[in-house]
Amino acid sequence: MDFDLTADQKLFRATTREFLEKEMPLTRVRELAGGGIGFEPDWWKRGSELGWNSMVVDPAAGGDSISGEGLVDACIVAEEMGRLVSPGPLIGANVVAAALSEAANAADHAEVIAALMAGEAVASWAVYEPRRGWSPMTPTVQATSDGSGYVLSGIKDRVDCGDQADYFLVTAGGPDGLAQFIVPAAAPGVTVTAEQSLDLVRRYARVDMDGVVLPATSVVSPAGTVEAAVNRQIQIAVALQCAETAGAIQRVFEFTVQWAFDRYSFGRPLASYQALKHRFADMKLWLEACQATAGAAAHATARQAEDADELASVAKSYVGQRATDIIQDCVQMHGGIGVTWEHDIHLYLRRATVNRAMFGTPSEHRRRLADILGV
């Protein structure tokens, strides 16, 4: 959480927190997990009415931020969702809505943007491909021109909320180089297959595209503009993801500190042992550093600062690693109860572990950072 939120941002945070605590407490998250769905579309629509998907959308395309830094506002939602390990397509919806609204042909995407903002449609950034790590600029999906439009073939997998998405943002190779397209899940030739996920409510899917015919207006980033577009998508995805992870570790740390006060061994609270106090001090340090770097990445991205690419990779390389360090150490503080299904801490560990790996691992972001620095 930023220490310099405006009064409006604080109000927005309170409203979002209240909504999530009432509508999506951890008990409900566990029910969804047991029931086999990621999120309820009606719940997502009601949350979207609070503005969850409108803030990163370019104002010219109907977007409306709270503070003037729309992504920072969206990160408030992400952080609150992290505190409660909420389900939902927040990252995909925002990445895709921003991309469509910043496209040169944003007018062609007006309907989809409106549906995403209203929460009536769900979109996902389909960026991974089978048998490959993080390589958003070297897709094997191919686009061919068919005169009036394009034909897409190939496979994306590990697609966030893929089995509930209405649209996919897809990067494909083509006759003039890479281009990005918005692909309706309902288009003939698209087959979506649910995949397994370590997270109980953040589901992933495989998307097979076999001769999917798209109109010319489905282009989001034409050839020659994809690298800049993808970098911006990475910035937004990573900022939201790091904010969500920061919210998760903030909550885990809070209840683990409380546990250390309440739990007694040898007639003393755990919090009185210096060996443990020092570990809590380290965790507090890492937590604050995670918050600091996640916040810096969000501000830089919102302002489209020169070093936004660099700060996204700085944040992800640190938060990805430290968040799981903190939660695993909190599991250790809890003792055996920490590795039971009954205790909530594994819900957080699952989310932090998925976030650590998705949209580039810490190691993949260090390599990207080395490229950016010109090592």
Partner 1 sequence: MTEHMTGTGIARLEDVESFRLRARAWLADNMPRLIPGENDNLEALMQRGDGIWPRARELQRLLYDGGFAGICFPREYGGLGLTPAHQRAFNEECAGYEMPLALNTPTFSICGATVLDMASEEQKRQHLQAVIRGDEVMVQFLSEPRGGSDLAGVTTRATRDGDVFILSGSKIWSSGAYAADWALCLARTDWEAPKHRGMTMFLLKVHQPGIEIKRIKQINGNNEFCQEFFDDVVVPASNVVGEVNGGWAVASRQLFHERNAVGGGSPYVSGGVGPPRRGPGTHALIDMVRASGQSDDVYVRELVAEAHAISRIQQQLITRVTDGMRTQQLPPPAAAIMRLFAGQASTRLAEIGVEILGSHAVAGGASGEHGPAATGGQASGVVSPGADTAGPVTDGQGLDYGRSFLMRQAGSLGGGSTEMARNIISERVLGMPREFAADRDVPFSQVRQGR
Contact positions vs partner 1 (CB under 8 A): 3-4, 257, 260-261, 269, 271-272, 274, 277-278, 280-282, 284-285, 288-289, 291-293, 295-296, 310-311, 313-314, 317-318, 363, 365-367, 369-370, 373-375
Question: Nearest distance from residue 364's CB to partner 1, in Å?
Answer: 10
In whole angstroms, how close is the CB of 308 to partner 1 at the nearest point? 13
160, two tokens: 């966030």
The torsion angles phi and psi of 192, rounded to 5 degrees, stand at -110, 130
Using DSSP, state whether 272 is helix, strand or coil.
Answer: helix
Q: Distance (Å, rounded) from C-alpha 317 to C-alpha 154?
A: 30
| Alpha carbon distance 76, 5 (integer Å) | 10
Nearest distance from C-beta of residue 97 to partner 1, angstroms: 27
Nearer to partner 1, 198 or 370 (CB): 370
Cα Rg of the chain (Å, integer): 21
Toward partner 1, which CB reaches closer, 4 or 42?
4
Q: Find the helix or strand (DSSP H, E) in which 223 lies.
A: none
Parallel, antiparallel or unpaired: strands 204-215 and 268-269: unpaired
Least distance in angstroms from the C-beta of 13 to partner 1: 14
Strand (E) or helix (H) holding 292: helix 274-302
Write 189-198 long-range contacts (CB < 8 A, 24+). Answer: 189/152, 189/213, 192/162, 192/163, 192/165, 193/163, 194/162, 194/163, 195/157, 195/158, 195/162, 197/354, 198/350, 198/353, 198/354
Nearer to partner 1, 188 or 374 (CB): 374
CA-nearest of 131, 233, 123 to 178 is: 233
β-sheet bridge partners, residue 265: 268
Q: How far is the CB of 318 from partner 1 (least distance, A)?
A: 6
Q: What is the DSSP string of 189-216?
A: TEEEEEE--SSSSS-EEEEEEEEEEEEG
Least distance to partner 1 from the beta carbon of 286, Å? 9
Judged by CB, which is closer to partner 1: 277, or 303? 277
Q: How far is the CB of 254 from partner 1 (least distance, A)?
A: 10
Nearest alpha carbon to residue 199 among 256, 241, 254, 251: 241
